[in-house]
Structure 1
Amino acid sequence: MTKEPEALMAVIDRLAERFPHHQRSVIEDVVAEEHGLLDDGPVRDYVPLLVERAAKLRLAHQ
């Protein structure tokens, strides 16, 4: 199983490919903000997936 930090880096990489018009630093900030909202949850398995989904929606509307 992938560790969460590695999974979040993979999320950033996928979002950077999907949203090439956004600077990588913007994508990293959005992912960090979304991760912060979920960081205190007890179940960690789906955090990267939930972060990616929320970040994708935010980036699509920027």
Structure 2
Amino acid sequence: MTGDDELLQIEQVIERLTTRYPAASPGDIEHTVRTVHKRLAECRIRDFVPLLVEKTARRELSDRAAVQAKGDLVL
């Protein structure tokens, strides 16, 4: 996988997660994805980086949504 392919896939991850989490701000989703992507910058094998980024970002966004929903119930 080339660096351009990886960046294109990361952009697609952002689009998918923006659709999946409409209550989250697109900027927050993009920030989360790019932060996770930076954490994997030193990985030597790049083929699965976009998949790992998506899974990790999805988990982080789901956790935030759950905490926010729980907080909304308390109000």
Same fold (TM over 0.5): yes
Point out where structure 1 has 5 or more consecutive residues left out of the alignment.
Answer: none
The CA distance in 2 between the partners of 1:40 and 1:28, in whole Å, is: 20
Which portions of structure 1, spanning 4 or more consecutive aligned residues, are displaced by more than 6 angstroms? none
| TM-score after normalising by structure 1 | 0.94
The CA distance in 2 between the partners of 1:32 and 1:12, in whole Å, is: 9
The answer to whether residue 31 in structure 2 is matched with residue 33 in structure 1 is no
State the structure with bigger RCO (CA 8 A, min sep 6), 1 or 2. 1
- Residue of 46, 49, 55 corresponding to 2:48: 46
Higher normalized helix content (fraction of residues): 2
Point out where structure 2 has 5 or more consecutive residues left out of the alignment.
Answer: 65-75
1:45 Cα deviation after fit:
0.4
RMSD: 1.2
Q: Quick check: which has more Rg, 1 or 2?
A: 2
